[in-house]
Amino acid sequence: MRLLVGLSVVGMSACLSRFWPYGTERSHAGKRGWFYPIKNVMCAQGPRQSRHREGLSDSGSEGASEDDDEGSTTWLGTPMSELRRTPDCSAPLPPLRALDNHTVAIRTDLLQAGRAPVPYPTRYRDAWDDVHVKMPCSDKNLFPVEDGVQSRWALIEKTLSQTFRSSQDVQEAMLKYNAAQSKKWDFTALHAYVKGLKSDEAQELLGELLPDMARLALSAQQLVTQPVPLLKTGSSHSVTLSQQQVACLLANAFFCTFPRRNSRKSEYSNFPDINFCRLFEGSSPKKVEKLKTLLWYFKQVTKNPPTGLVTFTRQSLDTFPEWESSEKKLTRLHITCEGTIEDQGHGMLQVDFANRFVGGGVTASGLVQEEIRFLINPELIVSRLFTESLQPNECLIITGQSFIITILIILILIVFIR
């Protein structure tokens, strides 16, 4: 079940089929939605041009009416054009600054439109503990060798600085600093992706894109200079990163450099997967398509480094409203069996009733609404690095410049659907 709260709620067809009989034969085919406007919550660039399609009109002129036949009804409630969107309904954002409950990893005093934010602090600061992300570039990230231990980061730097001539080279590189996984990891999907490329495309991937991604990953000590806090269960905390910092962290995830994240038996057993090792395994064509999407993202961020910010906020609710006994009415509500969360929900708060591990199976074989939404905006995936599994009274709010929306990921028990 997925919600775009107009802020906008998408993918309700499976639920609505129990209450609303119109158009349910298409409820499984893609992302559907219902849209609900909330006062003073993220609202985007005004209504888009109406999209007329099989009776669907953004103006609502072809929506439900008493004279409509049941088979032609595609939406109910308030016309989309009457719902509010950002920036028209947004209040000015308060000045960005670091607080006890808000970690800001950039220099706010040096922010300039169109220029990459400056990391804060100036020099890399390490924190190898149970309340921060254990970074691959930490001096405490050690690798066992015959006569003792060595710096795992030094091995990663040496390995990823080498030339890639084939997907086999990429596999061997990752296994050099993940030697314990050499008999466990499978790179079938990665090999299939490269094999399906044309000669010039494979040359561009191996000779340009992957080396650019490796350099991005190896810039961690220069870009991510502040320890990234873990957003743990029961906590209410925010983390603001630059898009460039997010890209750096995701490049490390692609090359599987994050320590202690390859086993469900580690201290991160209650966190989602972040290293992309499970994305490379198996022969599912879905994984090949995921790789296409993610590599397109990396191509964009390496050629044209982004300059925006992304904020991740974990919030916990101590007491719930008495939903079953409440007599309060919903405000303007739009229910539709057409459209998508990213298009019709543009400029609205997008609410995802999510897997307790944010992103679900996005770095594995999952490919339904939550995973698709994360692939459309891969910056969302980095939340898996530091967000512990969500409880029924918690949500994760992600606000980002590249997607011009706020995405609210919420795990909640829906009693009335049972």
Please give the positions annotated as active site.
352, 370-371
Which one-letter amino acid corresponds to residue 329? K
Structure tokens at 172: 């061997």
Q: What is the DSSP string of 209-246?
A: IHHHHHHHHHTHHHH--SPPBPB-TT--EEEEEEHHHH
Phi-psi region of 308 (alpha: psi -120 to 50; beta: other; left: phi over 0): beta
- Block residue for tokens 């954002």: 93
Measuring CA to CA, how many Å separate 315 from each of 103, 232, 288, 304?
Answer: 14, 10, 35, 33
Pairing assessment for the beta strands 102-104 and 350-353 based on DSSP bridges: unpaired
Task: Give yes or no for a contact between 332 and 324, defined as CB atoms under 8 angstroms apart.
Answer: no
Residue 90 main-chain phi, psi, to 5 deg: -90, 140
Give CA–CA dist 381/74, Å, rounded.
Answer: 33
Residue 119, SS3 per DSSP: strand
H or E element in which residue 169 lies? helix 167-176
Q: How far apart are CA 409 and CA 396, in angstroms?
A: 5
Please compute, for residue 318, the number of CA atoms within 13 A of its CA located in the half-sphere on the CB side.
2
- Dist. CA 244–CA 140, nearest whole Å: 25
**Which pair of tokens denotes residue 300?**
């964009």
